[in-house]
Amino acid sequence: VIPVSGKQLESRLVREDDETGDAEELEQYVEEKVALGKKAEKEQKRLRKAGIEERIMEVDFEEEDDEYIQWEMEAIKKGGHILHSLPPLPPKPFKTTLSVDPVP
C-alpha cells in the first residue's frame, strides 16, 4: 500500500463512475430507474415501449364494451342477410367496338 497525502487525494483525477454515483442514489429523485450504460438504456427503452403498448391496449379494450360488441355483431349479421336476400345484379355488357380516328 502506497501512502497518499491529503493534497494528492484532492488533486487526483475523478473517474466518471465516481463523479455520477450509483443508479440507486439517483433513483430517489426520479420515479423510474436511471439507466447507466448502453444495455441498461436499451432495456429501459424496451420496458417503456412495452408499458406504452400495454396502456394503449387497455384503453382500446375499455372503449369496446359488451353492448357495443353485441350491436356490431348484429349489424354485421343484418348486413350479410340483406346481401343474400337481394337478387343478383345482371352482368353489364362489355363494349368491344373500337373507333379509329384518322391522322390529320
Lookup result for grid cell 487525494 = 9
The separation between CA 38 and the C-alpha centre of its own chain, rounded to angstroms, equals 21
Whether the predicted pLDDT of 70 surpasses 60: yes
Lookup result for grid cell 350491436 = 71
Give the mean pLDDT of 57-75: 75
- Give the CB-side neighbour count of residue 86, counting CA atoms within 13 A: 9
Please give the mean pLDDT across all residues of the chain.
72
Whether the predicted pLDDT of 82 surpasses 60: no
- Give the CB-side neighbour count of residue 79, counting CA atoms within 13 A: 6
- pLDDT tens-place string over residues 20-53: 556 666 666 666 666 778 888 898 889 889 988 8
